[in-house]
Amino acid sequence: MNTIKQEKYNSLLRAADKAKENSYSPYSDFKVGATILTKDGKRIDGCNVENAAYGSTMCAERAAIYKAVSLGYKPGDFEAIAIVSSGKNFSPCGACRQTIAEYEFKQSKNIEVFFTGETGNIVKANSLKDLLPFAFDNSLL
């Protein structure tokens, strides 16, 4: 990976790490932050927000995506998403993978997904299909 691209991703990971600090996670103490990079160069952050009614909890990845949509971004506008957690072993949950898939399938370019936990080991997927090979896609109906 070239140096410029690596610095862009390191910068996104730092932004996601900063977003993680806004996490509201009193039940699990598992903090997660996510930062989306849009094709126009904007960064949009999200963090996980827990609720006593656990099903109402929102993950950082979906919070960032929904925030981007509320700001007017559409499928085709996302270049990458970086996710950082306070846990040692971490990867996006199935609901977040499927939500990212919704935006990747409707654009001509893959969304690069990379994430890390406390260990600092960065996992990078060149496509969401690396993480969710059999995602639901209603265009197949």
pLDDT above 50 (res 97): yes
> In CATH, which superfamily holds the domain spanning 3-140?
Cytidine Deaminase, domain 2 (3.40.140.10)
Residues tagged active-site: 61
Taking a C-beta distance cutoff of 8 angstroms, is the pair 114, 92 a contact? no
Coil, helix or strand for 86? coil
pLDDT tens, position by position, 34-62? 999 999 999 999 999 999 999 999 999 99
Q: State the pLDDT at residue 141.
A: 47
Find residue 83's DSSP bridge partners: 34, 115
Instruction: Look at the alpha carbons of 3, 62, 126, 30 in this order and tell me if their dihedral is positive or negative.
Output: positive
pLDDT tens, position by position, 108-131? 678 888 888 888 888 888 777 788
- The whole-number average pLDDT for the span 87-97 is 89
